């Protein structure tokens, strides 16, 4: 039996109201670190239990301990100051870091929380990191004056964190690069930095990219040396899949099938449609199914409903097509360094899929 | 040309009458942080949440926005800005601010805005866009009143408040044109937005700025795009036919418009042009082609980074733009490189304070300027030859 269509989540889940209130109290100095940490762990456990209850294959800790994905790492790395708040969209704001000295990792950042989350379940929990390009792009720079130097210093720091996660036992390490599709001319820098991060990494490496110009970033994005690229596809109604017919996708794909910026919960058949569109161009054993992006902007009820729909939709397709759910013994795949198919690079359009 | 009020004395009188600063001035591109200064409460964010929960209505939410606009007017005046904006703090984003008032659009998925870490809901054309009523006029009127009040409270003469709106080429390029197709959408938007520009002028807006950031996306070989953009701007500006008392500015930020070409830009009847000179330093080449009777606003303070900008560089930029083709300092301004919404409020305030001060100094005569900054920045040639004469007030200062 073919196994595939494994379910997972991109990373973040919404924080429960009591944790949000606690974070406010902590920021005001009215709640201790230990008390906040206890609430973060309780919320993490709740999300682990929820994911297990609906049959998710690869779990996340839900990032109950993070605010912004770039700022969280900047706060823990040497060389950053944390600036004032700036707006991302709508009524969403974050504290944007400022590089004021050379960036250096002085201690493990996520390992302890990963160990805790993994201790709660027998299913694999992803190690979750933010990529060097995105941290640099979402920071101000008052030190380097060179984007490349800034990004590559960060790459070494994130590499050390990834290696520590793998040493702790993480089989899946996700290095999010949502900014990767922002500037086409800097995609080689994204790939160079990711090459440093995943160099010698004995775990299955994923990167998540979202809300950029995928049509222009493809196929160059295939040069990013990871095993899986997780893509937000619902938001663009799966437009990119059409390009996979012309230029084969050489890695595993994280298939975003749920709009994380909509309150509306998709119908199961909508998600089934998205999965089947992907199956027209990719084999099931290369597909991991998840929401478009982190679900932290939804309410707890909305996020859980969306995850249930994804789980139900995958079960429906698996039943219909006879696809199993057994998870292979993953690690680095041949696709990590496969890059853009050679035939395509020489302008050929008829190419056999080079799937891992 | 649909009109020619940018040329000759009429334009100059109008321009000088509507801005109090007679030589260099400083202005925002448009947007300013809606966030609070460090340590201050954030009533707008709280109000947004209360609006979503139904605890206040639209009028109650607008009152909170009104208060913020009043606050920002004072902040700009105190920083020495010569032309003000409302900071665009009421806008979800530059696209939605217009498309929600036009017929023929719906909002779709989130997209990244150029290469920033901010997002907008992509408008999708559901039919030919149609302008049915003024969209931004009430907001401009409120801002103008708030600016007058803030100036009066400070014992100053009122300052001009600039109205800003996205241009048709950029709006179409950032939208999903649907079945209409981008060319048809662009030209229909030119007609529709032209009506909005006319409404703003008729309401009394002394300066209307059309933001065409997508001109920076035009490549060297994109002749069809150049032609489309040119036609769109012609149609937009022709909406002002018959009106003489106005000042129309074309702004290009987020990159270089070099490949759009000087002919596209300067054949159009805009009175002034604002260029991003940080992300698009090649825009200097365009400026060198600008006729002397057109104003130039130099986007020289980096709006995408918190680092302090070099004051002599900003001053040099303004004076260089003034010297090109004998333009003169009364047709030149200084600005951030793009909207300041990407910065925390404290840093944005520091940027406009620096811009206000740089504009003041750039408007000084050479000798006076030499007393306020390192004289080598005023007369590099003399300094290089070791012949600079230091003003008495700085003797023994700079080495």
Partner-chain contact A89 B119, CB within 8 Å: yes
Say yes or no to pLDDT of A127 above 60: yes
Q: What is the mean pLDDT of residues B157-177?
A: 96
Nearest to A89 among B38, B118, B345 (CB): B118
A140/B306 Cβ within 8 A? yes
How many angstroms separate the CA of residue B37 from the nearest CA in chain A? 8
pLDDT of amino acid A356: 30
**Banded model confidence at residue B381, pLDDT cuts 50, 70, 90:** low
Percent of chain B's residues with pLDDT above 90: 80
The CA distance from B145 to B151, in Å, is 10
Virtual CA dihedral for B315, B321, B326, B329, nearest 10 degrees? -50
Once rounded to an integer, what is the mean pLDDT over residues B291-311?
Answer: 96
Read off the pLDDT band of B161 (50, 70, 90): very high
CB atoms B306 and A86 under 8 Å: no
What tens digit of pLDDT does each residue of A153-210 get?
A: 999 999 999 999 999 999 999 999 999 988 889 999 999 999 999 999 999 999 999 8
Give the pLDDT band (50/70/90) at residue B16: very low
Residue A182 belongs to domain with CATH number = 3.20.20.210
Q: CA A252 → CA A236, A323, B24, distances in Å?
A: 20, 17, 57
Amino acid A330: pLDDT: 79
Contacts with A235 from chain B: Cβ below 8 Å: 109-110
pLDDT in tens, B324-348: 999 999 899 999 999 999 999 999 9
Within 13 Å, how many C-alpha atoms sit on residue A275's CB side?
A: 31
Nearest-CA distance B39 → chain A (Å)? 10
Mean pLDDT value across residues B364-384:
73
pLDDT digits (tens, 9 = 90+) for A8-41: 999 999 999 999 999 989 988 999 999 999 999 9
Distances (CA, A) of B246 to A163, A308, B22, B122, B209: 63, 58, 18, 31, 11
**CATH code for B8-36+75-386?**
3.20.20.210
**A100/B contact by beta carbon, under 8 A:** no
Interface check A137 vs B, CB under 8 A: yes
Output the pLDDT for position B69: 98
- Tell me, yes or no, if A349 comes closer than 8 A to chain B by beta carbon: no
Structural domain includes residue A125: yes
* Predicted confidence band of residue B91 (pLDDT cuts 50, 70, 90): very high
| Closest CB from A84, A87, A179 relative to B341 | A87
More confident residue, B1 or A150: A150
Which of B7-16, B46-55, B292-301, B306-315 has the least mean pLDDT? B7-16
Residue A78: inside a domain? no
**Structure confidence at residue A91 (pLDDT):** 86
Q: pLDDT, tens digit, for every residue of A83-107?
A: 899 998 888 898 999 999 999 999 9
Residue A351 covered by a domain: no
Q: Which of A87, A91, A212 shows the shortest C-beta gap to B112? A: A212
B61 interfacial to chain A (CB closer than 8 Å): no
Single out the residue of B249, B247, B228, B336 nearest to residue B296, CA to CA: B249
B57 touches chain A (CB under 8 A): no
Q: Mutate one of B47, B61, B112 to test the A interface: name it (highest A CB count within 10 A).
A: B112
Any residues with CB less than 8 A from the CB of A30 and at least 6 apart, and which? none
User: What is the C-alpha separation between A131 and B378, in angstroms, rounded?
Assistant: 45
B362, B323 Cβ separation under 8 angstroms: no
Residue A352 has pLDDT above 80, yes or no: no
Q: Which residue of B has its CA nearest to A88?
A: B118
* Contact B343/A at CB under 8 A: yes
**Nearest residue, CB atoms, A211 vs list B38, B111, B346:** B111
Distances (CA, A) of B120 to A337, B46, B108, B110, B319: 34, 21, 9, 5, 37
Set of chain A residues whose Cβ sits within 8 Å of the Cβ of B35: 84-87, 93
Mean pLDDT for B105-131 is 90
Residue B112 forms contact with A (CB below 8 Å)? yes
Gap between the Cα atoms of A97 and A78, Å rounded = 12
Q: Do the domain assignments include residue A187?
A: yes
**Interface contact B276, partner A, CB < 8 A:** no
pLDDT greater than 90 at residue B17: no
pLDDT value at position A344? 53
Instruction: Select the residue from A91, A260, A294 to test the B interface by mutation, using most B Cβ atoms within 10 A.
Output: A91
B275 beta partners? B252, B298
ipTM score here?
Answer: 0.83
Asked which of A319-323, B90-94, B115-119 is least confident by mean pLDDT, the reply is B115-119
Number of domains composing chain A: 1
- Percent of chain A scored above 70 by pLDDT? 96
What's residue A271's pLDDT? 97
Check A93 against B345: CB less than 8 A apart: no
Q: Are B237 and B192 in contact (CB under 8 A)?
A: no
Sequence-separated (6 or more) residues with CB below 8 Å from residue A42: none
- The residue to which tokens 């998870």 are assigned: A327
Q: Report domain extents, chain B.
A: 8-36+75-386
Give the range of the structural domain holding residue A340, as residue numbers without chain letter: 6-67+105-345
Q: Could A84 and B93 be called an inter-chain contact, meaning their C-beta atoms sit closer than 8 Å?
A: no
Pairing of strands B83-84, B160-166: parallel
Mutate to test the interface with B, among A27, A71, A90, A294 (most CBs of B within 10 A): A90
Taking the CA of residue A234 and the nearest CA in chain B, the distance in Å comes to 9
- The answer on pLDDT for B1 being more than 50 is no
> Shortest CA distance to B16 belongs to which of B77, B66, B62, B82?
B82
Residue A77 — very low, low, confident or very high, per pLDDT cuts 50/70/90?
A: very high
Residue A94 covered by a domain: no
Is A138 at the interface with chain B, CB within 8 A? yes
| pLDDT of the residue at B380 | 57
Question: Cα separations (Å) of A135 from A121, A131, A309, B216?
Answer: 30, 6, 32, 26
**Going by DSSP bridges, is the β-strand pair A92-104/B160-166 parallel, antiparallel, or unpaired?**
unpaired
């Amino acid at each position: 039996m073919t196994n595939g269509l494994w379910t997972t989540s991109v990373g973040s889940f919404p924080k429960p109201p009591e944790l949000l209130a606690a974070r406010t109290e902590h920021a005001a100095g009215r709640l201790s670190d230990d008390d906040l940490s206890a609430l973060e762990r309780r919320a993490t456990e709740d999300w682990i239990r929820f994911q297990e209850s609906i049959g998710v294959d690869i779990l996340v800790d839900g990032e109950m301990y993070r605010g912004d994905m770039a700022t969280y790492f900047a706060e823990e790395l040497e060389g950053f100051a944390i600036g004032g708040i700036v707006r991302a969209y709508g009524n969403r704001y974050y504290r944007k870091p400022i590089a004021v000295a050379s960036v250096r990792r002085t201690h493990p950042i996520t390992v302890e929380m990963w160990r805790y989350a993994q201790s709660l379940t027998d299913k694999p929990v992803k190690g979750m990191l933010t990529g060097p390009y995105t941290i640099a792009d979402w920071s101000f720079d008052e030190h380097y004056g060179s984007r490349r130097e800034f990004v590559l210093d960060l790459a070494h720091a994130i590499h050390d964190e990834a290696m520590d996660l793998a040493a702790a036992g993480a089989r899946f390490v996700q290095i999010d690069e949502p900014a990767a599709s922002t500037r086409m001319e800097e995609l080689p820098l994204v790939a160079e930095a990711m090459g440093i991060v995943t160099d010698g990494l004995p775990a299955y490496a994923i990167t998540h990219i979202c809300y950029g110009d995928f049509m222009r970033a493809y196929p160059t994005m295939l040069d990013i040396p990871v095993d899986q690229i997780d893509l937000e596809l619902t938001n663009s109604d799966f437009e990119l899949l059409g390009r996979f017919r012309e230029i084969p996708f050489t890695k595993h794909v994280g298939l975003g099938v749920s709009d994380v910026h909509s309150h509306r919960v998709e119908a199961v058949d909508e998600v089934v449609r998205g999965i089947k569109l992907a199956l027209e161009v990719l084999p099931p054993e290369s597909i991991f199914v998840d929401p478009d992006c982190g679900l932290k902007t939804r309410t707890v009820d909305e996020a859980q409903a969306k995850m249930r729909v994804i789980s139900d939709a995958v079960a429906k397709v698996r039943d219909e097509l006879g696809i199993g759910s057994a998870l292979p013994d993953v690690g680095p795949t041949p696709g990590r360094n496969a890059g853009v198919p050679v035939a395509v690079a020489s302008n050929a359009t008829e190419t056999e899929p080079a799937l891992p | 040309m649909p009109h020619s009020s940018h040329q000759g004395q009429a334009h100059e009188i109008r321009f000088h009458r509507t801005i109090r600063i007679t030589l260099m001035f400083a202005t925002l591109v448009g947007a300013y942080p809606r966030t609070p200064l460090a340590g201050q409460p954030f009533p707008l964010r709280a109000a947004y949440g209360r609006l979503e929960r139904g605890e206040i209505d639209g009028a109650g939410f607008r009152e909170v926005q009104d208060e913020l606009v009043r606050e920002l007017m004072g902040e700009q005046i105190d920083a020495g800005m010569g032309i003000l904006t409302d900071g665009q703090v009421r806008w979800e984003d530059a696209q939605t601010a217009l498309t929600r008032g036009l017929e023929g659009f719906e909002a779709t998925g989130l997209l990244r805005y150029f290469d920033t870490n901010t997002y907008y809901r992509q408008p999708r054309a559901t039919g030919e866009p149609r302008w049915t009523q003024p969209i931004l006029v009430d907001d401009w009127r409120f801002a103008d009143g708030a600016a007058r009040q803030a100036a009066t409270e400070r014992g100053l003469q009122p300052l001009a408040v600039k109205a800003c709106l996205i241009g048709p080429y950029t709006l179409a390029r950032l939208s999903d044109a649907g079945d209409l197709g981008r060319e048809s959408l662009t030209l229909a938007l030119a007609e529709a937005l032209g009506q909005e520009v006319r409404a703003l002028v008729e309401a009394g807006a002394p300066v209307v700025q059309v933001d065409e950031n997508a001109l920076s996306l035009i490549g060297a070989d994109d002749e069809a795009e150049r032609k489309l953009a040119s036609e769109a701007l012609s149609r937009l500006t022709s909406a002002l036919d018959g009106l003489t008392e106005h000042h129309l500015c074309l702004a290009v930020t987020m990159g270089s418009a070099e490949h759009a070409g000087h002919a596209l830009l300067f054949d159009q009847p805009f009175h002034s042009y604002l260029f991003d000179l940080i992300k698009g330093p090649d825009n200097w080449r365009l400026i060198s082609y600008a006729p002397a009777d057109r104003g130039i606003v130099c986007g020289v303070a980096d709006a995408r980074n918190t680092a302090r900008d070099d004051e002599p560089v900003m001053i040099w930029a303004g004076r260089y733009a003034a010297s090109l083709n004998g333009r003169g300092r009364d047709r030149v301004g200084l600005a951030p490189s793009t909207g300041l919404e990407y910065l925390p409020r404290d840093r944005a305030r520091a940027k406009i304070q620096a811009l206000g001060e740089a504009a003041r100094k750039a408007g000084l005569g050479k000798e006076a300027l030499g007393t306020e900054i390192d004289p080598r920045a005023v007369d590099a040639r003399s300094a290089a030859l070791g012949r600079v004469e230091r003003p008495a007030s700085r003797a023994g200062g700079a080495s």
